[in-house]
Amino acid sequence: MDELAAATDSEKLESWRIRYFGSNGQLKELMNRLKDAPREQKPALGKRVNELKVGLEAKLADRKEALESTSNQVGMDLTEPGTVQGLGRRHPISSTMDGIVDVFRLMGFSVVDGPEVEDEWHNFTALNIPEGHPARERTDNFFMPLDGGVPRLLRTQTSTVQIRAMETMSLPLKVVAVGRVYRPDTHDATHYSMFHQIEGLSIDRGVSMADLKTTLIQFAHAYFGEEAEVRMRPSFFPFTEPSAEVDMKMHIKGQWQWVELGGCGMVDPSVLAAVGIDPEEWTGFAFGLGVERIAMRKHGISDIRWLFENDARFLRQFG
């Protein structure tokens, strides 16, 4: 029954049905001819026409059922060539963060986390940034709607996690935190309103600036290579005293170059006191580095916006 097999949709099947079962169909015609047949042949011929009719009806019903069941299987036509889906891969920011954290883990730091929506205590007050300080200006922060009367904002720095670690963990402690921070900057090749930092904090008895420098040098050697160098330039941050900017000399496209990576210093005694740690007994160092700075220099990416546009043609190059 090739004709029936060729009826690949309900419309074609219906015209097949009309051709055989319609009022001018072939079965009707056979019936008409039966009238003219010799009388003694009529019963036998009648029987054959009837068998034919029953057989055709069964075939029609089978074909109808087959068509209905395939039309329910949307998208299951296995004769289609199909499309090859590209596999995803780690985003360059994620793989950079993973690599940095791996090194600090080996150096005995544990990894901690904090919320991106923060209160003013953790983002400012406890970090020695008092009310009225310019860093608390509404235009320099993403403040959120009041939460039960309490102001909240998107954290501007991962230093918030230093405070949370000191509030909740026992001493001595050695932690790193990585994550997003937010600042209302106008987007250009080097600024974006969201970026990532890695924060480190070590609190113990007798921790000194020498421990800070050793830690940063060990990190630079492990992450960038044995020839990498670290430079600290005097600076100011409200939560460290003394404070310094950190530069690291990295190998970029065949050349060693100094890159500014962030800030560091000895935790200010007033920060320790704010979280109930006795600054006479404990001292600490802290640092905060920019993840994009590292990732962009490492991969030769000249525009920070490319990192967040999620254009597969850009992301495909890393992995």
Element housing 252 (H / E): strand 240-252
Nearest residue to 114 via CA among 174, 169, 160, 181: 160
Looking at the Cβ atoms of 215 and 240, the one nearer to ligand DAH is 240
Q: Pick the closer one to ligand DAH by CB: 114 or 288.
A: 288
Asked whether position 288 contacts ligand DAH by CB under 6 A, the answer is yes
At its nearest, how many Å lie between ligand DAH and the CB of residue 157? Answer: 4
Nearer to ligand DAH among residue 114 and residue 265 (C-beta)? 265
Residue number, 56 or 175, with CB nearest to ligand DAH: 175
Q: What is the dihedral of CA 150, 186, 135, 278, to 10 degrees?
A: 80
x/- track of binding to ligand DAH for residues 132-171 (CB under 6 A)? -------------------------x-x------------
Q: Is residue 179 part of the contact set for ligand DAH (CB under 6 A)?
A: no
Q: What is the 3-state secondary structure (H, E, C) of 101-137?
A: HHHHHHCCCEECCCCCEEEHHHHCHHHCCCCCCHHHC
The correct pick among 56, 207, 220, 286 for binding ligand DAH (CB under 6 A) is 286
Map residue 21 onto helix, strand or coil. Answer: helix
91 and 291 in contact (C-beta within 8 Å)?
Answer: no
Whole-angstrom Cα distance, residue 34 to residue 155?
Answer: 93
Residue placing its CB nearer to ligand DAH in the complex, 96 or 156: 156
**Torsion over CA of 72, 75, 78 and 79, rounded to 10 degrees?**
100
Q: Are 46 and 31 in contact (CB under 8 A)?
A: no
Our finding on whether 287 is near ligand DAH (CB under 6 A) is: yes
Per CB under 6 A, the segment of 36-44, 74-82, 104-112, 262-270 that binds ligand DAH is 262-270
CA atoms within 13 A on the CB side of 281: 6
In this structure, what token pair is assigned to residue 44?
């036998």
How many residues bind to ligand DAH according to rule CB under 6 A? Answer: 12
**By rule CB under 6 A, what string of x and - marks binding of each residue 198-227 to ligand DAH?**
-x----------------------------
264 versus 307: smaller Cβ distance to ligand DAH: 264
Nearest-approach distance from CB 229 to ligand DAH, in angstroms: 20
* Cβ(271)–Cβ(284) below 8 Å: no
For the chain, how many residues are written? 319
Give me the residues that bind ligand DAH (CB under 6 A), please: 157, 159, 199, 237, 240, 262-265, 286-288
